[in-house]
Structure 1
Amino acid sequence: MPNKPSESLPGKFLEQLETVLDPQEIQDFRKSLAKASPTSIRFNPHKPISSASNMDPVPWCPTAYYLPERPSFTLDPSFHGGAYYVQEASSTFLHHILSTIQLPPSSIALDLCAAPGGKSTLLSSYLGETGIVVANEVIKSRAQVLKENIIKWGLGNTIVTQNDPSHFSDLEGFFDIVLVDAPCSGEGMFRKDPAAISEWSPENVSLCVARQQRIIDQVGALPKGGGYLIYATCTYNRKENEESIAFLTREFAYDPVRIPVREEWGIRESEIAVEDDTYYGYRFFPHQVTGEGLFISVLRRTGNSDQSVGLTKEFRHSHLKRVSPKDIPEEISSQLDSTRAIRLYQLGESYFAIPEKKQPIFEKLADCLNIRYFGVELGQVIRGEWLPSHEWALSVLEKKNIPRLELSRDEALKFLKKDSISADNSQKGWLLITYLGLPLGWVKNLGNRVNNYYPKAWRIRS
């Protein structure tokens, strides 16, 4: 049998750990690694959810809960419909931070290293209809996973981009909040992912520090004056945490932000002295919190840097174009919610919707960044025929006057496997598939058969 994580920790790691933990605590820390990782989820407040009566709440996030055991999420249709996100409990501390700093709901947020999407979807829920989130991931395969999770979450207030941090240079002073969940040595994942232990080395820590400082140097000027930068890692050592904060505050002008934490939460506050200021960091250790390892720090940008954005008369883009009201397909215009002011764009044969108030912001971002997804894709017109998109089905945008077909759990799983399902012949045409009132996708009832339009790449294979 393979060694338990607690039995195979590198000696250099343990030496390093003694700089952030009292020596007598090391044994408790090692014992915690032998225990099973807790499983937690965060509900989507904008979609129908099941009862949380048998779950314990995560104390710092009102929509997050611990599960008594880890189920098969793949076989839960609600998971595929975006009713909740499986997120490690420590990471949901971001909600407590946003509430403490009272981030305005109309904010522009950047999640720089966003995949797979836990913190981006949390930001999306927090900001709701009036804010906008830029969820960025530089690695193509991870950006695809991020895109899928944003689509499932379905709020339509997020733009998925695939850019290196250096590509944001034209957006200095643009964001109200920037989250840097920096790539790190992964010490906080030793219990959840024992492979991280074999990959750890002092040399890898040094490599991560260099990468973090490069990122900090390129994004430190992105928050506007009075805006916030949140720096986080899933590691414990001071080199990747306190020393990165010291590097940031020597390069850029930031004020400290102290976040109140309750003693019973078990979160450790550390002080980071830089010249005449004291900054604050917060560590999560698995022997003290019900969660995995995390470090997080909050800073507020000083000065008056603020990049204003206005709507230009013309929008010239190599791929995107504005859609005028006269060019909107009837299938879209008949479904638009008159209470929601939106703007439409066309990409190839697909139509996308974004909130009207966010149009100038979106067009500025589209001119600067490589956009992988934005708003809500509504559908395509191919050879004169309207095909509603899976993205629209999963979104919270209203789908007026469209008949729905409610399925049982077993039937919903057949749909998610892209198997054939049956429908009443009295309902012809496009049907919105739902499970417990939660939209899952589309079928088209042709009378003699029902075509399943669940995306092939997303289908359940088990």
Structure 2
Amino acid sequence: MSDILLPKAFESQMIDLLGSEEFSAFKKAIDEPSQTSLRLNSAKQVELDWEKSSIPWSDQGYFLKERPSFTLDPAFHAGAYYVQEASSMFIDHILKSLEIPRGIYLDLAAAPGGKSTLLSSYLGENGLLVANEVIQSRAQILKENIVKWGLGNAIVTNNDPEHFSPLEGFFDLVLVDAPCSGEGMFRKDPQARTEWSPDHVTLCELRQKRIMDQAGALVKAGGYLIYSTCTFNEQENEDMIRFLTEEFSYEPVRIPLDSDWKIRETIVDAEGKRYFGYRFFPHLVNGEGFFITILQRSEDAFIQEPKRVKDFKHHYLKEIWDRDSAEMDRELGFEESGKYYTLNDSYFRISKDWNLHFQKLSQHVSLKYFGVELGKKQKQDWIPSHEWALSLLPKNGFPRRELSKTEALDFLRKNELELTDLPIGWVLMTYQQLPLGWVKNLGNRINNYYPKDWRIRM
């Protein structure tokens, strides 16, 4: 139970929302421990030994009976799963129940990456995700999580929402998990209670309106806008639906619910239509506080399609011609056709199907990462990157070495490795058949190429 009391103004707000009797149940629930949950990466199969139960609105989501040390699980570092709050996995149900067409998606406030990795899994080989984060340090964390997830269908950008303004009508789906007053985190992070005030709620609302004033225009005709917060109040939730529908032409979307889930549907009358939102209360749902709504852009809205550029020019990216890209695919044994670029002498590969969209994006946003970085080439020899190791792309020609858990943790700590019968040259280290990274056996010593900044310090 938390020693930090709830602010009186917050209690009054919640009593107005729930009534006195139900508020008592809510207040009791947020002083109970949070339940740990995770979502599996369906592209990286792993067996979990922990006692778990399914999250009903997410195919790959599970509650864990106890919280293990994820840091000391090599499968976590291999991107086999993402530790994500259960309520936010409801996006999985939205995507699948509406059968939202795959295409080009934008996660506008993406760090640390839970929702981005979910979108990446849904898109698979049939789409491209732009995962954006405005704060540079958080954008680096986002990049790491996208790299670990390994699907190679994402671009990580570090931009303010207004930088996307030239991309009006460009995206099939835009997700904004808006920075908010954090009321839904009062159980998981009791310290958040001390930071809450009615003035902070109003400040968050103004920030959200500035973001949504940009985001609302980015969705193409027929596309979808998902807006979510981890807060309860109407000011940051229902009022934002009213704001959006006053500013932009959006149609209501209703999500099918199972009554056993105890998710509360809310109805907003705006612009002569009934719009829908979904609120997760911790005394009803096995998850943290959460609000989400989805809107569909009117069919008469703008659509911006990227045009073919005769000569692609960029201040730090160099395009590899299609013929040479095809030759690299053959050399590396990649079946799907890719498009290659170089950055600081390192080769990057993206899907050829989304190359025009990528080129258009690269003219307007600050790229932190894209596709899969393969590494550098010295004549006919590759210096493979860590990003390639964690990706789903084949690593043909490189031997593998399966590690025990103890050996894997030594590798992840960048400890000195004592491995016998290791081939000379580059070797891919694996744990439960999941790639972890590279070593290079020079004969007299083994060099560990796990990124220094990623190493386990426990």
**Is residue 325–residue 339 contact of structure 2 (8 Å, CA) maintained in 1?**
no
Q: 1:448 aligns with which of 444, 448, 453?
A: 444
Report the Cα offset of residue 408 of structure 1: 0.3
Distance of 1:275 and 1:304 partners within structure 2: 17
Which amino acid in structure 1 is aligned with residue 20 of structure 2? P
Residue 92, structure 1, aligned to residue 92, structure 2: no
Distance of 2:412 and 2:117 partners within structure 1: 22
In structure 2, relative to structure 1, the CA distance for the partners of 1:330 and 1:441 (3 Å cut) is farther
1:71 matched to which residue of 2?
68
**Is residue 129–residue 153 contact of structure 2 (8 Å, CA) maintained in 1?**
yes
Report the Cα offset of residue 446 of structure 1: 1.1
1:400-411 mapped onto 2 (5 Å cutoff):
400-411=396-407
> In structure 1, the residue corresponding to 2:156 is in which secondary structure?
strand
Report the Cα offset of residue 52 of structure 1: 7.1
Which amino acid in structure 2 is aligned with residue 96 of structure 1? H
Residue 264, structure 1, aligned to residue 278, structure 2: no
2:331 matched to which residue of 1?
334
1:22 matched to which residue of 2?
19
Larger deviation: 134-143 or 382-391?
A: 382-391
1:14-413 mapped onto 2 (5 Å cutoff):
14-51=11-48, 54-105=51-102, 107-302=103-298, 303-324=300-321, 334-337=331-334, 339-381=335-377, 386-413=382-409
2:429 matched to which residue of 1?
433
> In structure 1, the residue corresponding to 2:332 is in which secondary structure?
coil
**Is residue 379–residue 389 contact of structure 1 (8 Å, CA) maintained in 2?**
yes
Report the Cα offset of residue 331 of structure 1: 8.6
Which amino acid in structure 2 is aligned with residue 68 of structure 1? K
2:417 matched to which residue of 1?
421
User: Alpha carbon RMSD of aligned pairs, Å?
Assistant: 1.8
Which amino acid in structure 1 is aligned with residue 308 of structure 2? L
Which amino acid in structure 1 is aligned with residue 19 of structure 2? D
> In structure 2, the residue corresponding to 1:134 is in which secondary structure?
strand
Which amino acid in structure 2 is aligned with residue 366 of structure 1? S
Distance of 1:52 and 1:121 partners within structure 2: 23
Which amino acid in structure 1 is aligned with residue 320 of structure 2? V
Identity, in percent, stands at 56
In structure 2, relative to structure 1, the CA distance for the partners of 1:278 and 1:415 (3 Å cut) is same
Residue 4, structure 1, aligned to residue 2, structure 2: yes
Report the Cα offset of residue 104 of structure 1: 1.7
Larger deviation: 263-272 or 308-317?
A: 308-317
Report the Cα offset of residue 449 of structure 1: 1.2
Distance of 2:301 and 2:195 partners within structure 1: 43
Distance of 1:251 and 1:66 partners within structure 2: 39
Distance of 1:95 and 1:425 partners within structure 2: 45
CA deviations on 1:98-140 (whole Å, 9 max, x unpaired) are 01221123x1110000000000000000010111110000001
Report the Cα offset of residue 322 of structure 1: 0.8
Report the Cα offset of residue 312 of structure 1: 1.6
> In structure 2, the residue corresponding to 1:368 is in which secondary structure?
coil
Report the Cα offset of residue 276 of structure 1: 1.0
**Is residue 329–residue 337 contact of structure 2 (8 Å, CA) maintained in 1?**
no
Query: Aligned residues, how many?
Result: 457
Distance of 1:330 and 1:425 partners within structure 2: 34
**Is residue 329–residue 338 contact of structure 2 (8 Å, CA) maintained in 1?**
no
> Is there any run of 5+ residues in structure 2 with no aligned partner, and where?
none
Distance of 1:377 and 1:159 partners within structure 2: 11
Which amino acid in structure 1 is aligned with residue 375 of structure 2? G
Report the Cα offset of residue 323 of structure 1: 1.5
Distance of 2:331 and 2:321 partners within structure 1: 15
Distance of 2:422 and 2:28 partners within structure 1: 62
Larger deviation: 327-336 or 283-292?
A: 327-336
Report the Cα offset of residue 19 of structure 1: 2.9
Report the Cα offset of residue 20 of structure 1: 2.2
Distance of 1:221 and 1:48 partners within structure 2: 38
Larger deviation: 418-427 or 16-25?
A: 418-427
Which amino acid in structure 2 is aligned with residue 220 of structure 1? G
Larger deviation: 44-53 or 202-211?
A: 44-53
**Is residue 331–residue 386 contact of structure 1 (8 Å, CA) maintained in 2?**
no
CA deviations on 1:208-265 (whole Å, 9 max, x unpaired) are 0000111111111110011010110000000000001101100101010000111110
Report the Cα offset of residue 50 of structure 1: 1.0
Distance of 2:107 and 2:409 partners within structure 1: 33
Report the Cα offset of residue 424 of structure 1: 3.6
> Is there any run of 5+ residues in structure 1 with no aligned partner, and where?
none
CA deviations on 1:67-122 (whole Å, 9 max, x unpaired) are 110000000000000000000000000000001221123x1110000000000000
Which amino acid in structure 1 is aligned with residue 83 of structure 2? V
What is the TM-score of this pair, normalised by structure 1?
A: 0.96
Distance of 1:117 and 1:311 partners within structure 2: 31
Distance of 1:80 and 1:183 partners within structure 2: 27
In structure 2, relative to structure 1, the CA distance for the partners of 1:121 and 1:426 (3 Å cut) is closer
Distance of 2:230 and 2:262 partners within structure 1: 17
CA deviations on 1:389-437 (whole Å, 9 max, x unpaired) are 0000000011112100000000000000001213344611100000000
